[in-house]
């Protein structure tokens, strides 16, 4: 399920989009704000675009604007803006923390970033697509299943270095088996076990 589909179904609390979205005109009927920078450049699309943040309700929008003001956020590049955006878009708190940690490592400690890269997995569920570390899979999955308990519409997808797995709703045994498999794979590949 895409983030746009999850938003239109009322599952995803907010959606970050641009004019290229197929149903953009329909999105404009929802409460929204534009991002802090009026124009961004997309290297993949080789074009400029304006970012829009859509909300399910006007109350959500006002709550976010108030929070941004309280935090003194004036730029989308502000670390607190990134944190707030992650929470607004419905990502697991641990995934938001990991994203910010990865940003910091990218800027400050390339060696540590490279060392941890092998432990990164992509997770996808109800339009939330994010990176976390193998040791955070269980916490993120539990949060997703508690927050989006609609088992009939989507499955949790986990991707580690191109090896993809689907996990059924609340299948903690299968999830733990997958985590053990990934830990073993990482250990064999790196000869180093970072997480015990």
What 3-state DSSP class applies to 166? strand
Evaluate whether residue 21 is within a structural domain: yes
Report the domain count for the chain.
2
Phi and psi angles of residue 77, each rounded to the nearest 5 degrees, phi first: -80, -10
Question: Can you tell me the mean pLDDT for 78-102?
Answer: 91
Instruction: Supply the angle between the helices 58-71 and 79-88 in degrees, to the nearest 10.
Output: 160
**How far apart are alpha carbons 14 and 55 in whole angstroms?**
5
What 3-state DSSP class applies to 61? helix
pLDDT digits 0-9 by tens, 96-138:
999 998 888 887 877 788 888 899 999 999 989 999 999 999 9
Q: Name the average pLDDT for the chain.
A: 86
Residue from 106, 170, 116, 161 nearest 138 by CA: 170
Evaluate whether residue 185 is within a structural domain: yes
Phi and psi angles of residue 29, each rounded to the nearest 5 degrees, phi first: -80, -10
104 and 186 in one domain?
yes
Question: Can you tell me the mean pLDDT for 156-175?
Answer: 96
Evaluate whether residue 64 is within a structural domain: yes
Evaluate whether residue 117 is within a structural domain: yes
What pTM was estimated for this model as a whole? 0.83
**How far apart are alpha carbons 34 and 193 in whole angstroms?**
44
**How far apart are alpha carbons 86 and 92 in whole angstroms?**
8
Evaluate whether residue 138 is within a structural domain: yes
114 and 40 in one domain?
no
111 and 71 in one domain?
no
More confident: 68 or 177: 177
Range of the domain at 120: 100-190
């Amino acid at each position: 399920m895409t983030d746009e589909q999850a938003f239109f179904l009322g599952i995803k609390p907010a959606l970050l989009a641009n004019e290229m979205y197929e149903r953009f005109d329909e999105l404009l009927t929802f409460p929204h704000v534009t991002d802090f920078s009026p124009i961004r450049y997309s290297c993949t699309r080789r074009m400029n675009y304006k970012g829009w943040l859509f909300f399910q309700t006007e109350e959500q929008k006002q709550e976010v604007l108030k929070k941004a003001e309280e935090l003194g956020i004036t730029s989308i590049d502000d670390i607190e803006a990134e944190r707030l955006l992650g929470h607004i878009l419905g990502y697991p708190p641990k995934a938001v923390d990991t994203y910010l940690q990865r940003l910091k490592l990218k800027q400050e400690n390339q060696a540590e970033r490279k060392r941890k890269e092998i432990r990164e997995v992509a997770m996808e569920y109800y339009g939330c697509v994010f990176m976390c570390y193998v040791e955070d899979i269980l916490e993120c999955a539990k949060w997703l299943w508690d927050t989006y308990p609609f088992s009939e519409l989507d499955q949790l997808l986990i991707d580690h270095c191109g090896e993809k797995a689907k996990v059924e709703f609340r299948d903690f045994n299968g999830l733990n088996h997958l985590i053990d498999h990934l830990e073993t794979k990482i250990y064999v590949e790196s000869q180093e076990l970072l997480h015990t």
